[in-house]
Structure 1
């Protein structure tokens, strides 16, 4: 048995108001309290739900934001996704979440689908986009903000932690702890975050007059990081300290050092990560890590995106927020170091 779909006209008849009044109530436009009460009561009685996509086609305002994430195996991103979604929903927006790799041919159909949904803005979390896609979003009047990733030359807003400063903090910490054979398993060097953390780390060591023993691109991959740890520890002069470009890789490195190679962390090798995800504080790892100031990054991302939705001529913003080094038991603590 087919059930006829309830329309706004049905609601208007039951509430004894005009169809345009029903539209105003559900679009958030001006309406009296009495009208709102009657329309809501009639809608509840009939089981009416407004067609959000149809309204977006008419008004150009879908109240939807696209959130595109590269991966969720890194614990940083489920937390970021939850907080971004909650913050946008608190502002009255619905969030559409898509997964994408950094391959252009993977990102392009997702952007097209988001355009089909008439989203009012897009947040790319550690996802790179091409200049062509940037231009298409601009032509469609869709603001874009990059979260935890920057891309020079595209004129896009970005929000990151102060990655260069974070890498420098780790170098200073290792040197103060007496380490001299210091290596880096870097984050993917195709990303601004990986490059900036590595740059800051090298700068910090150079300023202290300590050479970098070795640097290997860990690709933000657990398997690549494990392989890199094996290569480093097989050297005739293995490192006594390793800075790992994010916590996801650092956990893999610690597991390899302890379980596979039978080494002690930090007695044989100090390990420091980057992100300070929840798992870093667990006793099994107690990982010293540079904390990404998640709440402030999310707040800046939402403020930037909504600011550009309200003012399409607003210049792109490049926001970098410094985070502290959180000292735990995975690395030798320098004498007198404040924890």
Structure 2
């Protein structure tokens, strides 16, 4: 037989306080004295009381739930991001519901309709974009949306990214300083803003050094497609002597092909650079030069941008771009040795 649920009134009677005081103790950010908080917490523990979050949401109109949409969990950057976003939001009294999507806008639309059914207070889109129709719907319902590691030309949504153009330029300058002359690029998903901006910066950096792109393939941010792209790029005699791969996840695939399929040496035959600087990049097996995304600052800015709009109402949207750092490792030639 199911045990009757303990009510907030019973907790209030046990603690000798009002029922509204019990509600304030279990409402994140509410004002309550230390003595009252301790009495209520002690009474709740003795009785086995748990606040009914769903009932509170119906009363206040706030679920304190954030919907997080992600498309690339196989890319090691995103599990880190999800964990840190969840922790930061929980510290502020919010909880995260994670929804998986493909990076295509059509699939995101289906997921977004499901998210809205949960009456979320806000939405973070990580590695995906949203249609203008859904952006309008979220705006009309007062649900703020923040793009994480993506940009989109829509003033109704905030975005937080690394300065991807600057990162691409830094890698190009590094290759040029190391004396590379035949340089390749393996792209991510063509419609992704990260792909577009990293390639733009890379081409600009090459041009500034008097160089041009010698070879280009597409890996679509997927390990298998990046392997195929590397085989296409490096199997011939006129192969590049350096390659920038749009993210680390694909760069690992490219390095595996170069070494184990084609028998080439890194960096003696080919320098390889990636983007993200996920933890595996520092492993001795890869020792990958990579442009580090400032993930902690990105997460902090995302949470602040989202909660400002949830808690302060109709505040302006933001477009945040953060500088990263090129981390030099053994997968690229040392310019000083050339």
Identify the TM-score tier after normalising by the shorter chain.
Answer: over 0.9
Q: Deviations over 1:163-197 (max 9, x none)?
A: 01111111111111111110100121110000100
**Match runs of 1:9-48 below 5 Å:** 9-28=9-28, 29-48=30-49
Q: Deviations over 1:76-114 (max 9, x none)?
A: 111111211222222222222222212344323433343
Distance 2:111 2:53 in 1: 20
Number of equivalent positions: 337
Q: 1:66 to 1:281 in 2, by over 3 A?
A: same
Q: Deviations over 1:184-243 (max 9, x none)?
A: 001211100001001111111112221211111210011111111111113341111111
Any gaps of 5 or more consecutive residues in structure 2? none
Distance 1:269 1:89 in 2: 45
Match of 1:329 in 2: 330
Normalized against structure 1, the TM-score is what? 0.93
**Match runs of 1:1-339 below 5 Å:** 1-28=1-28, 29-335=30-336
Normalized against structure 2, the TM-score is what? 0.93
- Contact 1:134–1:154 (Cα < 8 Å) also in 2: no
Any gaps of 5 or more consecutive residues in structure 1? none
Distance 1:319 1:171 in 2: 24
Distance 1:32 1:205 in 2: 61
- Contact 2:235–2:262 (Cα < 8 Å) also in 1: no
**Shift in Å, 1:58:** 0.9
**Shift in Å, 1:68:** 1.6
- Contact 1:131–1:154 (Cα < 8 Å) also in 2: no
Q: 1:235 to 1:155 in 2, by over 3 A?
A: farther
Deviates more, 1:256-265 or 1:315-324: 315-324
**Shift in Å, 1:34:** 4.7
Q: 1:90 to 1:336 in 2, by over 3 A?
A: farther
- Contact 2:155–2:317 (Cα < 8 Å) also in 1: no
CA root-mean-square deviation = 1.9
**Shift in Å, 1:332:** 1.0
Deviates more, 1:298-307 or 1:196-205: 298-307
- Structure 1 runs (4+) deviating above 6 angstroms are none
**Shift in Å, 1:17:** 4.2
- Contact 1:53–1:117 (Cα < 8 Å) also in 2: no
